[in-house]
Chains A and B, each alone.
Chain A
């Protein structure tokens, strides 16, 4: 069975667990490094971003040195541990919102439409957005804590996160598709949420994993890169420079192809999905390593197997 098929099965299993798990008593915690949306009633785990914003927002100063501070530290430690163990595989293999984007990409492929590519120049121009969002979701709650912003700015990222509008639909909840006219701030937030959701849905149809370009969680995981034990590794001397890795990458990453010296090719946008590894026809040129152990290695046989199945 090829890697992409295994990945699809794993993604679907986690989608079911993280979306409906709570209904069966499964709860994987509130520090998950993926978009397991807490707004889905009966979900099986919570995205860490909500906990992070919530802790900062609901009285940072008073809580920092108390039991609540310890609890928040515990959640952060758990998040770091989970990230260290699986790295970006949380995005490529587990994230339920990532799977929703993959479904749209599959639909596009079924319709026979070509994917829209984003040039590396454009990608580097857009790269700052996810770090800016990450900074906002940390600093806005701090401003609320010190009374410099209205309390309706609480959970600023959740208020505009497209997963909040889309994921609850799988639990039959259409509440977040409504415009919240309670006051001006909620109206602006809910309108922004709906506009961003529409943009992301259209974007994810034309371009694989469109939202991941802007995802602050991906940025946060990347900041913990030195601790992660899952690595995408290249042997430059084995690479024949065919460019398949660049062509198949859902994130349009070029440095896997361009890197001619270093073996560490993990970039900020990489999802550790392994598509480049299974598509590479150069023996041992690319590999995914976990604790130094090779999980999968590129080979001519694997790539030919893919080609027989109609993949590039």
Chain B
């Protein structure tokens, strides 16, 4: 009886291991990505931003590596430093900055012998007087895929309806994909040469969620060396798409004429001069 139970347990274990490996191997969609949490200023003025490393499909990864590339202050040179996980279930990283800094967070995880990479870019508005931490690190970092994501039109506030240009430091197998945070393949990017472009469509749910609400878009590239690299881009609702100047001018003119009429009627019994 005991032997039978052991056999069943071994069987279950083998099925679970094989199915995971099978899922990873046979799901060309596999990738890891950063989920960006809600950041904020701490009482001492430091800015804190939590990041969680997620996988698609949902599988467990062993001891992923994490690196941060910090640009502290405008025009300052980029410094690399190794990140430390705050928790392992899920893999959570807390990025802190004393002062203003642009931080690229990189992660690498092994899935079925292949390397998978995740990247995101954070702007941290720290207000602390102590600015030492952001100046620590070296000029050398790992040779991992590095996404360059630019907003065409120079908008500093990433928003829907705005075109993003994406390029990667490694060779990409085919078209880059765009995934939602919920694991839905949204689109494939268009490209000319090595530069890929994507314009996120407007999202009615985001339009109702407030100016600061955001959602993640995950740009995924299958790299020639094997595995995949992803970049998490946060987008807010568009600040311009809802603006209707014609309707605004109509409302303004109507209100203006009505006010003029009211003022004239109110003064009709008094002398004008």
Contact = CB atoms under 8 A, between A and B. Distances in A.
Contact of A183 (B207, B251, B270, B272): B207
A29 B273 CA distance: 43
A202 B260 CA distance: 6
Contacts of B43: 62, 65-67
A183 to B, nearest CB: 5
Which bracket fits the contact residues of A? Answer: 35 or more
Interface string B209-228: 11111000000000000000
Contacts of A181: 242-244, 247
B41 A68 contact: yes
B248 A179 contact: yes
B148 interface: no
B213 to A, nearest CB: 7
Of A116, A178, A195, A197, most B-chain CB atoms within 10 Å? A178
Interface in B240-265: 241-245, 247-249, 251-253, 255-256, 258-260, 263
A113 B44 contact: no
Contact of A178 (B208, B245, B263): B245
Interface stretch (A15-23, A150-158, A271-279): A150-158
A154 B40 contact: no
B245 A174 contact: yes
Of B127, B128, B213, B253, most A-chain CB atoms within 10 Å? B127
A183 B266 CA distance: 36
Interface string A143-168: 00000001110100000000000000
A114 B213 contact: no
B248 A194 contact: yes
A190 B252 CA distance: 10
Contacts of A206: 263, 267
A134 B105 CA distance: 44
B128 A67 contact: yes
Contact of A151 (B127, B212, B245, B255): B212
B252 A202 contact: no
Given A67-B127, A197-B252, A182 B272 contact: no
A66 B273 contact: no
B127 A190 contact: no
Contacts of A243: none
B251 A194 contact: yes
B45 interface: yes
Contact of A152 (B44, B210, B253, B256): B210
A283 B271 CA distance: 34
A179 B251 contact: yes
B237 interface: yes
Interface in A193-220: 194-195, 197-199, 201-203, 206
Contact of A179 (B208, B247, B260, B273): B247
Nearest to B256: A198
Contact of B252 (A67, A177, A183, A203): A177
Closest 8 CB pairs of A and B: A66-B43, A151-B210, A182-B242, A67-B45, A198-B255, A202-B259, A178-B243, A198-B256
Interface of B: 40-45, 127-128, 207-213, 237-238, 241-245, 247-249, 251-253, 255-256, 258-260, 263, 266-267, 270-273
Given A178-B248, A179-B247, 11 more contacts: A66-B45, A67-B43, A67-B127, A114-B273, A151-B210, A181-B247, A182-B241, A182-B242, A198-B252, A203-B259, A203-B263
